[in-house]
Amino acid sequence: MHKHRGFPSRLPSSDFQFTIRRPNKKGATPIIRRERYADRRNVDRKADEVFMLSLIENFGEEPFIRGNLDAGRISWMWEREVLPVSDPFDPCDYEAEMRVDISKAMVSFPKIFTDEYE
């Protein structure tokens, strides 16, 4: 399993993880599309923003390997801002490649593209 060095492991002061420490012996957790409903808590939205900002800062629009990135966190953006690179895509493969769709990320997370983002 590829480890993304320099990628934040979690949202500071929370239990929202962005990376995992070691591969699951039973296989990678599948990436699924999770719906982001309008009534989500602010801390959930903040975790999504920080994760997306980290993806963009680390990879931009270039393809990247899933590696130790948390499947649960990717799933909140899957098939919207984060897209598969290959077809067919194996959602249970640590070596699967994906990429960020910057234009969709700009619409979904406009705050992270402003100069005053904290």
Bridge partners (DSSP) listed for residue 82: 78, 100
Please state, in angstroms and rounded to a whole number, the distance separating the CA atoms of residues 78 and 16: 17
CA distances from 49 to 25, 56, 92, 108 (A): 30, 11, 24, 9
The structure's pTM equals 0.87
Q: Are residues 93 and 28 in contact, defined by beta-carbon separation less than 8 angstroms?
A: yes
CB 85 within 8 A of CB 78: no
pLDDT in the model for residue 99 = 96
Strand order from edge to edge, sheet including 97-100: 64-65, 97-100, 82-84
Radius of gyration (C-alpha) of the chain in whole angstroms: 14
pLDDT score for 118: 60
Of residues 114, 118, 109, the one with CA closest to residue 82: 109
Which residues lie closer than 8 Å to 88 by C-beta, 6 or more apart?
Answer: none
The per-residue pLDDT for 65 is: 92
Spans of the chain, pLDDT less than 70? 116-118
Which pLDDT score, from 0 to 100, does residue 60 have? 92
Quick one: pLDDT at residue 61? 92
